[in-house]
Amino acid sequence: TTTPEMDEKLIERISKHPCYSEEAHHHYARMHVAVAPACNIQCNYCNRKYDCANESRPGVVSELLTPEEAAHKVLVIAGKIPQMTVLGVAGPGDPLANPEKTFRTFELIADKAPDIKLCLSTNGLMLTEHIDRIKQLNIDHVTITLNTIDPEIGAQIYSWVHYKRKRYRGVEGAKILLEKQLEGLQALKEADILCKVNSVMIPGINDQHLVEVNKAIRERGAFLHNIMPLISAPEHGTHFGLTGQRGPTGKELKEVQDNCSGNMKMMRHCRQCRADAVGLLGEDRSQEFTKDKFMEMAPEYNL
Ligand code: SF4
Ligand code: SF4
């Protein structure tokens, strides 16, 4: 839904992005390519065997591609699904912990399929370091996963943060991450790049605090807030520090979303898609375009 104060230019910018516009998500599709395996932090709810739990569906293992394979895949899919408007790099680790792979992928797509909008998801630790490259490549949508603005709470969510060749633990690590996330958000605002903030709701840890998070990100110009439930299921394996942690009920999630919604746009149509998702939100066509299949479909796109 759009609000009256949104100007036409902004509506145009989000109108083909299924995650940023609720209307668009019925008509336009997005795809993810999994090119970024490494991560620079350790979230306590993340099991590294699976896709980054900050943007993706937990418990899913995406097929890792090189930037060239990813570009090949994008060209094949763009030819087959005309509603495909957005390409996102969202994992399986943190895209900005793999800057060469991530930006090489974006460069190839910008060059070969310039109509496709570029979207990036990150934990935010390295955002300010790469903001110039993000601007240069015309990446118009960035998601930061920001679960707290309080380092004490952060210490319960993140077990370590690897920054500038050093590993920081506890409150010290959380403090660095949280500062960098807010600086990153500000840098996006200054660059006029639309920013969505994801927050993973963890009962007993940050649930009561998310209204404050909402206020902080709104003040810094975030466009959309997506509060997502922690999904913890035994089949996802042991989570590092949050073993036995439950996720919120639907009612608890809605309550927090409602408490924030007086303040800004909330995303309520998120489907927590996989790092190699293809299709409309809520629809998963990733298995139609696995590596062996897309390689065969259009060998002429092989880079
Ligand atoms: Fe896992 Fe967190 Fe890194 Fe995502 S940002 S891959 S959830 S540790
Ligand atoms: Fe971008 Fe996230 Fe939507 Fe993927 S799911 S297109 S990374 S906002």
Displacement of CA 16 from its chain's centroid (Å): 17
What pLDDT band is residue 2 in, cutting at 50, 70 and 90? very low
Q: In a 3-state reduction of DSSP, which class is residue 279?
A: strand
List beta partners, residue 163. 166
State the residue for tokens 């099991």: 47
Measured torsion, CA atoms of residues 262, 267, 269, 275, in degrees rounded to the nearest 10: -160
Note the ligand closest to the C-alpha atom of 275: 2
Q: In a 3-state reduction of DSSP, which class is residue 131?
A: helix
Q: Is 86 in the pocket of ligand 2 (CB under 6 A)?
A: yes
d(CA 164, CA 177): 12
Mean pLDDT of the 202-216 span: 94
Mean pLDDT of the 144-168 span: 96
Question: Is the pLDDT assigned to residue 1 strictly greater than 70?
Answer: no
State the residue for tokens 């949050």: 242
What pLDDT band is residue 303 in, cutting at 50, 70 and 90? confident
Note the ligand closest to the C-alpha atom of 51: 1
With contact defined as beta carbons under 8 Å apart, do 270 and 226 qualify?
A: yes
Is the CA virtual torsion 82, 20, 183, 39 positive or negative?
negative
Closest CA to 280 of 29, 27, 17: 29
Q: Is 119 in the pocket of ligand 2 (CB under 6 A)?
A: yes
What pLDDT band is residue 200 in, cutting at 50, 70 and 90? very high
Continuous H helices in the chain:
8-14, 67-80, 99-112, 127-136, 151-157, 170-190, 210-219, 250-261, 291-297
Mutate to test the pocket of ligand 1, among 54, 60, 202, 236 (most ligand atoms within 8 A of CB): 54
pLDDT 10s digits, 84-121: 889 999 889 999 999 999 999 999 999 999 999 999 99
Q: In a 3-state reduction of DSSP, which class is residue 141?
A: strand
Distance from the CA of 296 to the center of ligand 2, in angstroms?
Answer: 27
What pLDDT band is residue 241 in, cutting at 50, 70 and 90? low
Mutate to test the pocket of ligand 2, among 14, 17, 33, 121 (most ligand atoms within 8 A of CB): 121
Distance from the CA of 2 to the center of ligand 1, in angstroms?
Answer: 31
Q: In a 3-state reduction of DSSP, which class is residue 168?
A: strand
Phi–psi pair at 142, nearest 5 degrees: -130, 135
Comparing 241 with 124, which gets the higher pLDDT?
A: 124
- pTM (2 d.p.): 0.90
